[in-house]
Amino acid sequence: MSGSQGALPGMIEEEDGEEAALLDQRRATEAERIAEALVFASAQPVTESYIASRLPKGADVAKIMQRLKAFYAPRGVNLLQIADSWAFRTAADLSFVVQTDENEVRKLSRAALEVLAIIAYHQPVTRAEIEDIRGVQTSKGTLDVLMEAGWVRFRGRRRTPGRPVTFGTTRDFLDHFGLEELRDLPGLEELKGAGLLSGRIPANFQIPMPRGDDDLAEDEDPITQLDLEELGLLTPRGEESE
């Protein structure tokens, strides 16, 4: 491809100059578009020979890439040559716009999802009850993560021996999951209908209708400042386990 620039010398002779120039122009634009799309869609830098293999025969890849490089040079995204390959990269002077989000989004663990769902459906719910439903102990870190996410809160204390703390969800929880109110959570039939629950469930199986309000249940006491301090002491932070 190096050297002879005329893509299709035979044809040019047949046409008059202006038309030939127009056709050339259109061909060049098309080749540029193809090269651009190829480099954009590729996960790795794309070799020049690969680009050439996708272009019409006789296209001058080196020239096309140089032209593209010049085209993108003043823009927010630049076309860079890395060895014999090409890649798009954010313009170096703009890296600050792209890189400020160093706090990456973390995926919630399976355990955390389960605990969160139980709290959402069964609130007000104590830790013992959560464990009863899940059938496994809940590690400290799981609840911490949910608290940190701002989706779970202390609601109050159950008026039973030991006065266990009850958990509930927050306004942020509703916002994040696009719910208007807790009652929007799908019920048994709807979970079944959506294929999330299979048909093989016992007749007495129930999905609770979550209490939608902030009002405390009859057997709940409000959380006091004292409780909070106590709880703060009881929950050693750190040791994120999940």
Partner 1 sequence: MEPLWQDDTAQRGLHEEALVVDIAGFEGPLDLLLHLARNQRVDLSRISVLALAEQYIAFIENARSIRIELAADYLVMAAWLAFLKSRLLIPQPLKDEGPSGEEMAAALAFRLKRLEAMRDAATRLVNRNRLGRDVFVRGAPEHIPVERRSAFDASLYDLLSAYAALRQRHAVTQVTIEKRQVWSLADAREILARLLGELTDDWTALDHFLLRYMTDPKDRATAIASSFAASLEMVREGQLEVRQDGAFSPIYLRKGVKPPRGPEGGRT
Going by C-beta distance under 8 Å and a sequence separation of 6 or more, which residues neighbour residue 222? Answer: 156, 157, 216
Q: Is residue 59 a contact partner of residue 31, using CB atoms and an 8 Å limit?
A: yes
Map the footprint of a copy of itself across residues 78-107, applying CB under 8 A. Answer: 88, 90-91, 94, 97-98
Asked if residue 200 binds partner 1 (CB under 8 A), the reply is: yes
Asked if residue 34 binds partner 1 (CB under 8 A), the reply is: no
Asked if residue 109 binds a copy of itself (CB under 8 A), the reply is: no
Q: Is residue 155 a contact partner of residue 223, using CB atoms and an 8 Å limit?
A: yes
Residue among 27, 28, 61 nearest 47 (CA): 61
Length of the chain: 242
Would you give the binding string for partner 1 spanning residues 167-196, x where CB under 8 A is met?
-----x--xxxxx-----xxx---x--x-x
Q: How far is CA 204 from CA 129, 188, 200, 201, 209, in A?
A: 19, 11, 12, 8, 15
- Choosing from 8, 28, 42, 72, the residue that interacts with partner 1 (CB under 8 A) is 42
Stretch that binds a copy of itself, among 1-9, 20-28, 175-183, 222-230 (CB under 8 A): 175-183
Asked if residue 156 binds a copy of itself (CB under 8 A), the reply is: yes
Q: Is residue 201 a contact partner of residue 193, using CB atoms and an 8 Å limit?
A: no
Nearest distance, CB of residue 171 and partner 1, angstroms = 12
Residue 142 contact partner, candidates partner 1, a copy of itself, none, CB within 5 to 8 A by sort of partner:
a copy of itself
Going by C-beta distance under 8 Å and a sequence separation of 6 or more, which residues neighbour residue 210? Answer: 120, 121, 122, 123, 182, 183, 185
Nearer to a copy of itself, 53 or 235 (CB): 53
Asked if residue 57 binds partner 1 (CB under 8 A), the reply is: no
Q: How far is CA 197 from CA 70, 125, 200, in A?
A: 57, 22, 8
**Which residues are near a copy of itself by CB under 8 A?**
29, 32-38, 40-41, 54, 74-77, 88, 90-91, 94, 97-98, 127, 138, 140-145, 147, 153-157, 163-165, 178-180, 183-184, 186-187, 190, 192-196, 198-199
